Amino acid sequence: MSEIRFDGRVAIVTGAGLGLGRCHALALAQRGAKVVVNDLGGSVDGTGSGSAAEDVADEIREAGGEAISHTANVTKADEVADMVRQAMDKWGRVDVLVNNAGILRDKSFAKMELADFEAVMQVHLTGSVVCTKAVWDIMREQGYGRVAMTTSSSGLYGNFGQSNYGAAKMALIGFMNTLHLEGQKYDIRVSALAPTAATRMTENLLPPAALDLLSPEAVSAGLVWLVSGDAPSRTILCAGAGGYAATKIYETDGIYLPPDQQTPENVAANLDKVLDAADQRELQSGGEQSVKFLTKAATHLGVSLR
């Protein structure tokens, strides 16, 4: 396989001042991308400010690459628009967007203030929406775009004390699924990365021996592929400690109950068949579920759907 390169491509990486975002930005730059390094410069909970983005941009330039920094708050459309405008003024295009910016405010749901729930949703979900919206028309007009969301096993499978984070991360999968459909015509491919790495967000959660195995570089290898020219779309790539896997959402074939049997008791009585994974499949759009159920009903009742 030929080397994956980004020569002539422009990438925006949010939350790129430290941790995974920094590693993503450096990896893209090393492969020829011109990089907008975005970071508000905040702490893990989203407070404070600093010069982290410019430090990474300096690092890229010192290595012979091209980069600018921007401290846009990803939840503020005017600041994000200014960031995108600067990229367009300097390089004339935006090819890659890596939605990486995030914060943590972990507490059990019983103890969590609504403000902490809303803040995490705002940065992870709304921030990704704001940034993607800012580049979407550019990518449509140039007939090319690669967008990566950052999801998490906390959203895909749940994690105690992270109802806010998990909700935001799973919401991004729904966002990805629809953008995948809407972007196909314009060669805009949208996927999601579910990372496990040693960063500020994980340093207090895992023992040192585990953290030593979780290099950000291993995760960035997956990210670079997700936003490459030959990238997939609507793929959830899980990466950590040198392991790479895909998460898929399947739906069982299910059952049909005629009108006179459509009761809660009959649903419960047929639960084994409802859950039977033998003929499960990955649906490509929400409408496929409706078609499946309508086809079962029409077949049983002898009704034509045409």
Domain holding 272, by residue range, is 259-301
Confidence bin at 199 (pLDDT 50/70/90)? low
Same domain, residue pair 237 and 264: no
Same domain, residue pair 286 and 230: no
Q: Residue 41 has what pLDDT?
A: 81
| Average confidence score pLDDT of the chain | 94
Residue 218 is assigned to a structural domain of this protein = yes
User: What integer is the mean pLDDT of 51-55?
Assistant: 94
Confidence bin at 208 (pLDDT 50/70/90)? confident
Q: Residue 306 has what pLDDT?
A: 78
Residue 106 is assigned to a structural domain of this protein = yes
Same domain, residue pair 139 and 267: no
What CATH number does residue 128 fall under? Answer: 3.40.50.720
User: What integer is the mean pLDDT of 84-96?
Assistant: 98
User: What integer is the mean pLDDT of 262-289?
Assistant: 97
Q: Which residues are catalytic, by number?
A: 165
Q: Residue 178 has what pLDDT?
A: 98
Same domain, residue pair 291 and 228: no
- Give the dihedral sign, CA 204/118/235/77: negative
How do residues 123-182 score in pLDDT, each as one tens digit? Answer: 999 999 999 999 999 999 999 999 999 999 999 999 999 999 999 999 999 999 999 999
Residue 92 is assigned to a structural domain of this protein = yes
Q: What is the pTM of this model?
A: 0.94
Angstrom distance (rounded) from CA 214 to CA 196: 7
Same domain, residue pair 243 and 279: no
User: What integer is the mean pLDDT of 26-33?
Assistant: 98
Residue 209, pLDDT above cutoff 90: no
What percent of the chain shows pLDDT beyond 70?
A: 94
Q: Residue 7 has what pLDDT?
A: 98
CA distance readout (Å), 63 to 13, 35, 195, 294: 18, 13, 26, 59
Same domain, residue pair 283 and 149: no
What does the H/E/C string look like for the chain?
CCCCCCCCCEEEECCCCCHHHHHHHHHHHHCCCEEEEECCCCCCCCCCCCCHHHHHHHHHHHCCCCEEEECCCCCCHHHHHHHHHHHHHHHCCCCEEECCCCCCCCECCCCCCHHHHHHHHHHHHHHHHHHHHHHHHHHHHHCCEEEEEECCHHHHCCCCCEHHHHHHHHHHHHHHHHHHHHHHHHCEEEEEEEEECCCCCCCCCCCHHHHHHCCHHHHHHHHHHHCCCCCCCCCEEEEECCEEEEECCCECCCCCCCHHHCCHHHHHHCHHHHHCCCCCECCCCHHHHHHHHHHHHHHHHCCCCC
Same domain, residue pair 46 and 142: yes
Phi and psi dihedrals of 98, rounded to 5? -110, 105
**How many structural domains compose the chain?**
2
Residue 264, pLDDT above cutoff 80: yes
Angstrom distance (rounded) from CA 222 to CA 156: 18
Angstrom distance (rounded) from CA 247 to CA 238: 7
Same domain, residue pair 292 and 157: no
Same domain, residue pair 116 and 137: yes
Q: Are 189 and 160 in contact (CB under 8 A)?
A: no
Residue 127 is assigned to a structural domain of this protein = yes
Residue 1 is assigned to a structural domain of this protein = no
Same domain, residue pair 233 and 284: no
Same domain, residue pair 160 and 190: yes
Residue 205, pLDDT above cutoff 70: no
Residue 3 is assigned to a structural domain of this protein = no
Same domain, residue pair 272 and 220: no
